[in-house]
Each structure stands twice: as C-alpha cells, then as structure tokens.
Amino acid sequence: MTTTPKFQYKCNDCGATYNPLEIQYMCPECNKKNTANQPPKGVLKTIYDYESIKQQTFDSLKSRGFLDLLPIKNSESLPNLAIGQTPLYTLDKIDNEETEGTILIKDDAQNPTFSYKDRASAIVSAYAKEQEINTIVTASTGNAGSSLAGICAAQGQQGIIMVPASAPVAKLTQILMYGATLIPVDGTYDDAFDLSIKATEELGWYNRNTGFNPLTIEGKKTVAFELYEQMGYQAPDRIFVPVGDGVIISGVYKGFEDLLKLGLIEKMPTIVAVQSTGSDNIARNLSNSEFVVKQSNTIADSISVDIPRNYHMAKNFITSYNGEAIAIEDNEILEASYKLSKNTGVFAEPAAAAAFGGLLHYKKHSKLDKGSKNVVLLTGSGLKDLKAVQKMIQIPAPIMPNIDNLKKIYHD
Ligand SMILES: *Cc1c(COP(=O)(O)O)cnc(C)c1O
Ligand SMILES: [Zn+2]
C-alpha cells in the first residue's frame, strides 16, 4: 500500500516539484550545477493543499497542533519538551523615551535549548522518528548543534554535531551535556557544512543542515502562527529578524505566506533582515545580480556566515514581498544587547541583539510609523556567549563585608 504524502516540494530556483518520498534534501537538477563559492540553488519549499486546508478555521488548525501545515504525520512524534509558544512582551519605552510605534519582543530564547533552532530541530527529529531513522547529523555555528543535541536527547536519538572549533564554549558544553557526539573541525562553519554533507552521502546519517534539509524551514515558520494569534489574529507591521544563512527569515516568511494562502491575512508584514556589517553577505548582495562573498568577521557568531546557504530563497522572499535589509556595526550590536537587557530583563546573545539593534536603528531614523506594531525576534539567550559582552561590563572588586564599608562606597 502506498500513501500519498500531504505535501510536496517545490524548488525555489527552477520551480520543479518533487515527491518527498523520493527527494529528501535539495533539487537534484539545480544542485548538480552548484559550485563551492556561490550560495547553492535548489533549496526546496514545502507546499500543502491549501484549498482543502482553507476549509478549517485557524483555531481548529491550532487545536490539531497545525499538523495540516507540518510535514509530519503525528504530533506524538515531537519531543516531549515545550517548544515554541514563546512569550511576546510589549515594550512601552526605551530608556524612558516613548517610541512612535509599539515594540513587541518575541523571546525565543525560552525554547528548551535556549534558541530559535529548537523549532527546526523538533520537526526534523519528529520526521526522522516517523521514518525510523536514529542518527542525525548537523553542521552548526553552535545553536543548531546544541539544539539538535538537546532534542535528540529528549527523543532517544543520536546526534552528531560538527562545529567550527571557535564556537562559544557554552554551546559546546550544551552539546556534550546532552550526550551528543561533538566533532569540532579545524576550519569554518562552511567547512563543517561540507563535511556533514559528505558524511550523509557516505555514511547515510540523516542530515538536519539548515538550507539543505527543507524541513528546517517548516519548523521555523511556526513563529508566524504564534505571532498571528498573540497579536489578536493579525500580522504585525514589521518584524526584525537576525540573518545569517537566511533560513529563519525564510521560515518567518513561509509561515506568513501559508497564512496568506489560507486567506487568514491579507498582507505580508514588512520583514527587516538584520545583519552585522562584519557579515552582511545577504544584505549587501540583495541588489546585485552576481553574489559577491566577503569573509565574515563579527562578534555575533550565530550570524557569521560567508556563503549563506539559503541566500536565494531569502532573496526571493525579500524581493517579492518588499522586505528590507540593514547591516549594523558590532558595537551597535553590543549596545543594543545592553539596552535590551536593561530595558526589558531579556538578555539575548549578540546575533539576537542585532535584531533589536536593527529596531533601534529604525527608531533613530524615525522609520517606525506611528501606531505601527513592530516585532523583534530574539533568537538566542545571552548566557550562550558571555565572552562577547565582557567589554560592556566590569565586575566590581570585592569589598570587606561590613555595613560601614558599604555605606562608604554606596552613599546614596
Ligand atoms: C541561527 C541563528 C540565527 C540566524 O539564522 P539563519 O537561519 O542562519 O539566518 C540568528 N540568531 C541566532 C541566535 C541563531 O542561532
Ligand atoms: Zn531546481
């Protein structure tokens, strides 16, 4: 007996469609022509039968865990961890200053391994479980790896994680504590990426790589459904998204695109891709016909990417839905990180703080419309990279613990 899958894949670049029972990763036609120093073409988009799903209300879709819009068969395949459904906070003032529009903070560091990546790992892991695959490999700048490691731990699966040796120690620690196999490579994230693909080809390990496995986009889109509900069944006006490989931003677009296709929203929100000027390979190339690589150098390790793996899809989304892109300096990212923590009680890692830095940039240039609703997507916890913010703080020298001494130092 054969079952027809409820979704199919469509190539972002040539438009060919594929049956997911036959093709798991990239469009074979486009992938054949890919070369090492250019962003790959052939990332697949997951397409559902929107006309029939349209018959249901949002609430009925939600009551089934959005299973109709996910590439898995059963919600029970998901890990028994609280993934997604993260809080959305309203920020009235920044440093006691009113802002023109409303600012909303979506805190995805609240996921089990403290980053947005859990949304993707959960779907990939559930899919693997349904296919009775037990070993999953990923290349990672740190968070995708710590996420996959944690999700595999919850699912009794084996995670194999390849990272550049320079990844922040907290992320490496997580990977080991979750019991995954850690393979640091003497090289960059791009080197780790290539090695993991070879491992998949030659050793058969299921591959979670971002911009390679199309299911990561489907996992990452779920934030759109949450925002839609949290904002009272409407989309925000703007969303600031930190961008490295361009998968999170494509996920956010894909989620809202699903809602558009279901007739639940009428207009795509304006999505702002935020990068570091030290790693701006998407923002800088948007209006170029040829991709020109610049070597990355930024404190924001999670968005430090030379060849963005999902460049073409991200560019496609940004251009077809009138998105925007900016790059900000590393010192602006650090200042944004401090400002965010101090004003909200939410401590974000540099890549995530970049999104807030993007918003501050818009605010400074009066680009937040009056009455507009602006979401900042915070993708990872500040505890993941303490070293990055060391120059922002100074831990005071200890004092002798008596009250007179205290009064002398803190006299007001
Ligand atoms: C992975 C990651 C990003 C960037 O996502 P891409 O899909 O690579 O664009 C941003 N912030 C954090 C914290 C991340 O872990
Ligand atoms: Zn193709």
- Residue 351 Cα to ligand 1 midpoint, Å, equals 7
Considering only CA atoms, which of 362, 127, 123 is closest in space to residue 240?
Answer: 362
What separation in angstroms does the CA of 68 have from each of 52, 116, 198, 406? Answer: 10, 22, 33, 61
Does any domain span residue 119?
Answer: no
- Best residue among 248, 252, 274, 311 to mutate for probing ligand 1, ranked by most atoms within 8 Å of CB: 248
Does any domain span residue 403?
Answer: no
Q: What is the pLDDT of residue 100?
A: 86
- Per DSSP bridges, beta strands 158-164 and 206-207 are unpaired
Whether residue 246 has its Cβ less than 6 Å from ligand 1? yes
pLDDT one-digit tens code per residue, 42-80: 999 999 999 999 999 999 999 999 999 999 999 999 999
Whether residue 244 has its Cβ less than 6 Å from ligand 1? yes
Task: Clarify whether residues 190 and 101 are in a common domain.
Answer: no
Whether residue 245 has its Cβ less than 6 Å from ligand 1? yes
Q: What is the pLDDT of residue 29?
A: 97
Whether residue 107 has its Cβ less than 6 Å from ligand 1? no
Does any domain span residue 1?
Answer: no
Domain that holds residue 34: 7-77
Task: Clarify whether residues 358 and 380 are in a common domain.
Answer: yes
Give me the phi and psi of 402, to 5 degrees please. -130, 155
Does any domain span residue 33?
Answer: yes
Query: Could you tell me the pLDDT band of residue 379, with boundaries at 50, 70 and 90?
Result: very high
- Tell me the residue ranges of DSSP E strands in 211-338: 238-242, 270-276, 324-328
Task: Clarify whether residues 362 and 283 are in a common domain.
Answer: yes
Over the range 48-80, which residues count as b (16 or more CB within 10 Å of their CB) and which as e? beeeebeeeeeeebeeeebebbbbbeeeebbbe
Name the closest-CA residue to atom 1, ligand 1: 302
Task: Clarify whether residues 297 and 173 are in a common domain.
Answer: no
Which ligand gives the minimal distance to the CA of 168?
1
What separation in angstroms does the CA of 174 have from each of 145, 146, 154, 157, 381? Answer: 9, 6, 13, 16, 13
pLDDT one-digit tens code per residue, 326-337: 999 999 999 999
Name the closest-CA residue to atom 7, ligand 1: 247
- Best residue among 302, 333, 378 to mutate for probing ligand 1, ranked by most atoms within 8 Å of CB: 302
Q: Which residue has the higher pLDDT, 97 or 218?
A: 218
Task: Clarify whether residues 314 and 378 are in a common domain.
Answer: yes
Task: Clarify whether residues 222 and 335 are in a common domain.
Answer: yes
Q: What is the pLDDT of residue 5?
A: 79
- Residue 183 Cα to ligand 2 midpoint, Å, equals 31
Task: Clarify whether residues 252 and 374 are in a common domain.
Answer: yes
pLDDT one-digit tens code per residue, 317-365: 999 999 999 999 999 999 999 999 999 999 999 999 999 999 999 999 9
Q: What is the pLDDT of residue 391?
A: 87
For the record, the structure tokens of 200 come out as 């998949």
Region 206-222 average pLDDT? 97
Answer whether residue 368 shows pLDDT above 90: yes
Whether residue 281 has its Cβ less than 6 Å from ligand 1? no
Of 169, 204, 239, the residue at which a domain comes to its end is: 204
Taking the CA of residue 250 as reference, the ligand 1 atom at the shortest distance is 7
Answer whether residue 388 shows pLDDT above 90: yes
Whether residue 242 has its Cβ less than 6 Å from ligand 1? yes
Report the C-alpha gap between 135 and 117 in whole angstroms: 18
Taking the CA of residue 142 as reference, the ligand 1 atom at the shortest distance is 15
Number of domains in the chain: 3
Whether residue 323 has its Cβ less than 6 Å from ligand 1? no
Give me the phi and psi of 335, to 5 degrees please. -60, -40
Region 243-264 average pLDDT? 98
Which ligand gives the minimal distance to the CA of 45?
2
Report the C-alpha gap between 212 and 215 in whole angstroms: 9
Whether residue 208 has its Cβ less than 6 Å from ligand 1? no
Whether residue 349 has its Cβ less than 6 Å from ligand 1? yes
Answer whether residue 304 shows pLDDT above 80: yes
Considering only CA atoms, which of 74, 106, 70, 75 is closest in space to residue 90?
Answer: 106
Q: What is the pLDDT of residue 53?
A: 97
Report the C-alpha gap between 354 and 377 in whole angstroms: 10
Whether residue 248 has its Cβ less than 6 Å from ligand 1? yes
Mean pLDDT score across all residues of the chain: 95
For the record, the structure tokens of 268 come out as 């795509």
Give me the phi and psi of 110, to 5 degrees please. -75, 0
- Residue 211 Cα to ligand 2 midpoint, Å, equals 14
Q: What is the 3-state secondary structure (H, E, C) of 321-365?
A: CCCEEEEECHHHHHHHHHHHHHHHCCCECHHHHHHHHHHHHHHHC
Q: Where do we find the tokens 């009066």? A: 366
Q: Which residue has the higher pLDDT, 340 or 5?
A: 340
Task: Clarify whether residues 271 and 175 are in a common domain.
Answer: no
Q: Where do we find the tokens 């009113």? A: 98
What separation in angstroms does the CA of 282 have from each of 24, 27, 45, 109, 259? Answer: 26, 22, 19, 24, 25
- Residue 134 Cα to ligand 2 midpoint, Å, equals 29
Of 155, 181, 204, the residue at which a domain comes to its end is: 204
Considering only CA atoms, which of 243, 228, 226 is closest in space to residue 333?
Answer: 243
Considering only CA atoms, which of 346, 357, 350, 359 is closest in space to residue 390?
Answer: 350
Task: Clarify whether residues 181 and 260 are in a common domain.
Answer: no
Q: What is the pLDDT of residue 412?
A: 61
Of 204, 228, 263, the residue at which a domain comes to its end is: 204
Report the C-alpha gap between 407 and 384 in whole angstroms: 35
Task: Clarify whether residues 176 and 51 are in a common domain.
Answer: no
Report the C-alpha gap between 43 and 9 in whole angstroms: 9
Report the C-alpha gap between 349 and 108 in whole angstroms: 11
Task: Clarify whether residues 35 and 61 are in a common domain.
Answer: yes
Report the C-alpha gap between 299 and 290 in whole angstroms: 27
pLDDT one-digit tens code per residue, 119-137: 999 999 999 999 999 999 9
Helices (H), 82-166: 118-130, 143-155
Query: CATH number for the domain including 149?
Result: 3.40.50.1100
- Best residue among 220, 245, 299, 309 to mutate for probing ligand 1, ranked by most atoms within 8 Å of CB: 245
Are 20 and 9 contacting, i.e. CB atoms less than 8 angstroms apart? Answer: yes
Answer whether residue 2 shows pLDDT above 60: no
Whether residue 351 has its Cβ less than 6 Å from ligand 1? yes
Q: At what angle do helices 143-155 and 169-177 cross, to 10 degrees?
A: 10
pLDDT one-digit tens code per residue, 266-299: 999 999 999 999 999 999 999 999 999 999 999 9
Report the C-alpha gap between 258 and 218 in whole angstroms: 10
Q: What percent of the chain has pLDDT over 70?
A: 99
Whether residue 380 has its Cβ less than 6 Å from ligand 1? yes
Name the closest-CA residue to atom 14, ligand 1: 302
Whether residue 376 has its Cβ less than 6 Å from ligand 1? no
Query: Could you tell me the pLDDT band of residue 1, with boundaries at 50, 70 and 90?
Result: very low
Q: What is the pLDDT of residue 411?
A: 73
Task: Clarify whether residues 181 and 279 are in a common domain.
Answer: no
